[in-house]
């Protein structure tokens, strides 16, 4: 067995894992990134649009800019969300404007493959060692280090291991942090469409009477990406629909707000899972991204929380001062405390809204829609609600 030694090993090359490895390498630490899938730049086809898109907050954009990834993105493949319109399942309406909040944009809509293609060169430039396409086989601990054994017989040893391998994290389970993700009973149906009328950079969201949530997110020119968080039975119907029929159903569900829709490719479905952990750290272990928390996509904040984790952990290790051990308990405790409040707050908001709009009691329906409209008339309250998502 060949054992390679590093200061930190990041296990999981999703977007938060890629960003974290890049950020940590700039703190003077020797970093390795490992993933069971190959770590490679995705194929890019200018004629197609990725079904996996993200609403990147201004705070996440600033973090990505600091590691050199944001400026590598093509302006032609991203869209600024300049306003947002949220409609309840009655007549309640809540609107946000980037102008009113003093922001250039509420978020930027970016394809997953574009973000990955922008992040990977920053890892190469920072000298991150990469081990892709090899399953994880074992995890062992000593007082001084963690050792991740790969299926090819090699092992990566470090003072700190970071689990960034998703909501069903192998690393988290192997470390003994038992957590079973809880299904929401919904599936996110995602697809891209051309639209008859211009969207003007407006994101739209509808809370539906069936407990689901439909979001339309602006893509460049007259295109949108949709995320329909639908009850599982309805999601199965939507995914089985021919593309023309799916476009008609999506358009009708969105009140034909942008005229006729035309599907730009097949839809995909992702089961929605909730994950809450009592802690995001353990002995020589830190968790980031979906390995540390899972939440409903109605606020579009999942990847932003992951980037927030990466930014916070990199900052804690960069400011470690005389503490030379990146896996020292004092540093891991500092990271966990820094992330506890924003993660719990966002989970409380998303889960609370999902439950609030998931019940069909008439009196509660009237109350929640009246609440949306009341908040819409209070600029200071809207600003307070928007700030955590922006930052």
Q: Is 287 helix (H, G, I), strand (E, B) or coil?
A: strand
> Are 188 and 228 within 8 A, CB to CB?
yes
Find out whether 218 and 105 touch, Cβ atoms under 8 Å: no
**Is residue 263 scored above 90 in pLDDT?**
yes
Closest to 360 (Cα-Cα) out of 212, 188, 179, 184: 212
Residue 165 backbone phi and psi in degrees, to 5:
-105, 35
How much is the pLDDT for 384?
Answer: 64
Those residues whose C-beta lies under 8 Å from the C-beta of residue 262, and which sit 6 or more positions away, are: 193, 194, 195, 247
Percent of the chain that is helix, strand, coil (3-state, to 5): 35, 30, 35
Residue 86 near residue 372, CB atoms below 8 Å: yes
- The pTM of this model reads 0.92
Categorize the per-residue pLDDT at 368 as very low, low, confident or very high, splitting at 50, 70 and 90.
Answer: low
pLDDT band at 370 (very low <50, low <70, confident <90, very high): low
What span, in angstroms and rounded, lies between the C-alpha atoms of 323 and 24?
Answer: 15
Q: pLDDT grade, residue 289 (50/70/90)?
A: very high
Q: In whole angstroms, give the CA distance from residue 216 to residue 125.
A: 36
Nearest to 218, CA basis, from 94, 59, 84, 73: 84
pLDDT value of residue 296: 79
Please report, for residues 55, 186, 217, 219, 240, the alpha-carbon distance to residue 225 in angstroms, rounded to integers and kept in the order given: 11, 18, 5, 7, 18
Contacts of residue 63, defined as CB under 8 A and 6 or more positions apart, other chains included, come to 19, 23, 307, 308, 310, 311
Calculate the alpha carbon distances from 216 to 164, 229, 230 in Å. Answer: 28, 11, 14
**Closest C-alpha to 307, from 320, 293, 288, 292:** 288
Tell me: the pLDDT tens digits for 53-106? 999 999 999 999 999 999 999 999 999 999 999 888 777 888 888 998 888 999
Question: What letter does residue 201 receive in the DSSP assignment?
Answer: T
According to the model, what pLDDT value does residue 318 have?
A: 96
Whole-number pLDDT of residue 387: 66
Beta strands in 106-239 (DSSP E): 107-111, 129-132, 136-141, 146-150, 155-163, 182-195, 202-207, 213-219, 223-231
In terms of DSSP bridges, do strands 155-163 and 285-287 run parallel, antiparallel, or are they unpaired?
Answer: parallel
Phi-psi category of residue 185: left, alpha or beta, with phi > 0 → left and psi -120 to 50 → alpha = left
**pLDDT bucket at 192, cuts 50 / 70 / 90:** very high
Q: Cβ distance 182 to 275 under 8 Å?
A: yes
């Amino acid at each position: 067995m060949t054992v390679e030694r590093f200061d930190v090993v990041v296990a999981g090359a999703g977007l938060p894992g890629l960003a974290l490895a890049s950020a940590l390498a700039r703190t003077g630490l020797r970093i390795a990134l490992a993933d069971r899938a190959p770590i490679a730049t995705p194929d890019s086809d200018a004629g197609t649009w990725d079904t996996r898109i993200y609403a990147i907050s201004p705070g996440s954009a600033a973090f990505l800019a600091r590691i050199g990834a944001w400026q590598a993105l093509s302006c032609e493949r991203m869209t600024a969300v300049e306003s947002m319109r949220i409609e309840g399942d009655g007549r309640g309406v809540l609107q946000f404007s980037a102008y009113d909040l003093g922001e250039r944009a509420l978020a930027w809509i970016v394809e997953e493959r574009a973000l990955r293609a922008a992040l990977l060169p920053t890892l190469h430039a920072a000298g991150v060692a990469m081990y892709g396409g090899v399953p994880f086989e074992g995890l062992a601990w000593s007082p001084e280090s963690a050792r991740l054994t790969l299926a090819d017989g090699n092992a990566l040893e470090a003072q700190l291991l970071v689990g960034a391998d998703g909501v069903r994290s192998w690393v988290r389970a192997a470390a003994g942090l038992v957590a079973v993700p809880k299904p929401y009973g919904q599936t996110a149906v995602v697809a891209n469409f051309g639209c008859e009328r211009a969207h003007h950079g407006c994101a739209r969201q509808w809370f539906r009477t069936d407990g689901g949530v439909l979001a339309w997110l602006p893509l460049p020119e007259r295109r949108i990406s949709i995320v329909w968080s639908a009850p599982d039975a309805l999601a199965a119907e939507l995914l089985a629909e021919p593309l023309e029929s799916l476009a008609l159903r999506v358009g009708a569900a969105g009140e034909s707000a942008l005229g006729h829709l035309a599907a730009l490719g097949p839809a995909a479905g992702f089961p929605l899972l909730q994950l809450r952990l009592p802690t995001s750290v353990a002995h020589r272990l830190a968790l980031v991204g979906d390995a540390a928390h899972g939440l409903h996509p109605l606020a579009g904040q999942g990847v932003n929380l992951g980037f927030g984790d990466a930014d916070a952990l990199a900052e804690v290790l960069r400011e470690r001062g005389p503490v030379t051990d990146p896996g020292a308990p004092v540093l891991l405790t500092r990271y966990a405390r820094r992330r506890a409040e924003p993660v719990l707050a966002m989970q409380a908001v998303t889960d609370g809204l999902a439950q609030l709009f998931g019940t069909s009691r008439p009196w509660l329906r009237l109350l929640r829609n009246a609440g949306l409209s009341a908040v819409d008339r209070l600029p200071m309250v809207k600003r307070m609600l928007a700030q955590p998502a922006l930052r």
